[in-house]
Amino acid sequence: MEVKPIVVVSKCLGFQACRYNGQIENDEFVNKLNDYVRFVPVCPEIEIGLEIPRNSIRVVNIDGDFKIIETKTGRDLSIMMNDFSNTFLNNLEEVDGFLLKTRSPSCGIKDVKIYSSIDKGAAVRKGKGFFGGEVTKRYPNLAVEDEGRLKDYKIREHFLTKLYTMARFRELKKTNSIVELKKFHKYNELLLMYYNKKGFRKLSDIIKKESEESTERIIKEYEYYLGLVLARVPRYTSNISLMLSIIKVFQDKISERETVFILDALEKYRSGNIPFSVPLYLIKGYLIRFEVFSFINQSFFEPYPHSLVEMRDSGKILT
C-alpha cells in the first residue's frame, strides 16, 4: 500500500534559519526523509512574533504553574504560545507524525530544561516544551519524536514503522470499509504480532464485531488499540520469537546446515553483532524461494521504504 506520510516538522531543521541564534540545523535524516514524506514546517516562536535572532526563552515552574518566559525582559509568552499551539493543531486536518527540535522550550517533547525562576541558575528538572507538550497530549497514538533521539537506530526504526503504519491507516479510514480494514489487518499481521501479541489478538477480535456494530465505530476502536500496540519499541526477544515461528514454515525443506546458519544469524543479532535486517532478509529469501506469499507480502518485511534503512546508531556503524 503506497502512502506518503504527513509530518509536522520544526522549521529550523533544514527549512529556515530561524533558531534563536539565527542559525539553521541541517539534519541528515530530515534531509533524507524529505523525499518520502510531506513535511509541514512550523516554528512556534516565530509564529508568536519573536524575531530572528531573538532573546532566549525558558520554561519556568512558578508555584506549580508552567510559564514560558523571555529571560532578558521577563516577558511572559505563555498565553501567546498556548493560543498558537491550539489554533495550529485545531486547523491541522491530516497528520501522521511530528518531528520536532530536541530540548526546545517550544518544540521539545522531553528533556526540556525546566527552571524555578528566570534568574541564572541550573535547571531543576526536565520536561516538555509548550508546543511539543500539547502535541504529545493530543496525538498519543502517532509517531512523535525529536531529531536528537532519531540518531538511535532502534528509535528511528520504530518511528518510521509507526509513521507509515498510521499513514496507511489514515488512508484506510477514508474508505470506511470493513473489507479494507481486514486487508489492512492481514497486511500487518506479523508486524502487529511482533509488537504485541496480546494487542494483536484484541485487534483481531474487534474485526469480528462486523455484524454487531457500525463500521465507523469498529474502525475507531481498531485505531485506538492500534495506537496502543505500536506505543513502545518492541524488545529484541519479540523479533527472535517471531522469526523462529516463521522459520518453521520452511524448515523441513532446507538442510540442517542451512537451519544452523539461520539460527546463528539470529544469535548474532541477539548479541548485538549484526542489525536485524541481516536475519530478516535472509529469512525473507527463503520465503521467496518457497513461494510463501502469505508472509512475503507482509509489512513486517518492509514497514517503510527500504532506502530509508540506515545502520548507524548514535553516529556509529553497526557491524
C-alpha radius of gyration, the chain, whole number: 22
Helix (H) or strand (E) holding 256: helix 256-270
Between the CA of residue 226 and those of 157, 200, 249, what are the distances in Å? Answer: 17, 8, 27
Contacts for 288 with CB less than 8 Å, ≥ 6 apart: 296
Residue 314's pLDDT is what?
Answer: 42
SS3 316: strand
161: left (phi over 0), alpha (psi -120 to 50) or beta: alpha
Integer Cα distance of 107 and 144 in angstroms: 11
Question: How many residues make up the chain in this entry?
Answer: 319
Integer Cα distance of 24 and 11 in angstroms: 9
DSSP 20: T
Contacts for 179 with CB less than 8 Å, ≥ 6 apart: none
SS3 206: helix
Pairing of strands 97-100, 143-146: parallel
User: For residue 163, which of 276, 295, 305 has the smallest C-alpha distance?
Assistant: 305
Residue 275's pLDDT is what?
Answer: 79
Largest Cα–Cα distance in the chain? 74
Cis amide leading into 53 (omega within 30): yes
Residue 310's pLDDT is what?
Answer: 63
**Cell numbers found for residue 276:** 536485524
Residue 27's pLDDT is what?
Answer: 92
Burial track 67-100 (b if 16+ CB lie within 10 A, e otherwise): bbbbbeeeeebbebbeebbeebbeebeebbbbbb
Residue 2's pLDDT is what?
Answer: 80
Name the pTM for this structure. Answer: 0.91
Query: pLDDT truncated to tens, each residue of the chain (319 aa)?
Result: 589 999 999 999 999 999 999 999 999 999 999 999 999 999 999 999 999 999 999 999 988 899 999 999 999 999 999 999 999 999 999 999 999 999 999 999 999 999 988 887 777 899 999 999 999 999 999 999 999 999 988 899 999 999 999 999 999 999 999 999 999 999 999 999 999 999 999 999 999 987 778 999 999 999 999 999 999 988 888 889 999 999 999 999 999 999 999 999 999 988 888 878 889 989 999 999 999 988 999 999 999 998 887 654 444 433 3
What angle, rounded to 10 degrees, do the helices at 215-229 and 197-207 form? 180
Beta bridge partners of 70: 57
The Cα angle at residue 217 between residues 2 and 227, in degrees rounded to 5: 55
**Helices vs strands, H then E, count in the chain:** 13, 10
Between the CA of residue 107 and those of 99, 103, 135, 262, 286, what are the distances in Å? Answer: 9, 7, 9, 44, 45
Residue 1's pLDDT is what?
Answer: 55
111: left (phi over 0), alpha (psi -120 to 50) or beta: left
Residue 191: alpha-carbon gap to chain centroid: 15
Between the CA of residue 136 and those of 87, 142, 225, what are the distances in Å? Answer: 16, 9, 17
Burial track 24-51 (b if 16+ CB lie within 10 A, e otherwise): ebebebbeebeebbebeebbbbbbbebe
Residue written as grid cell 544469524: 265
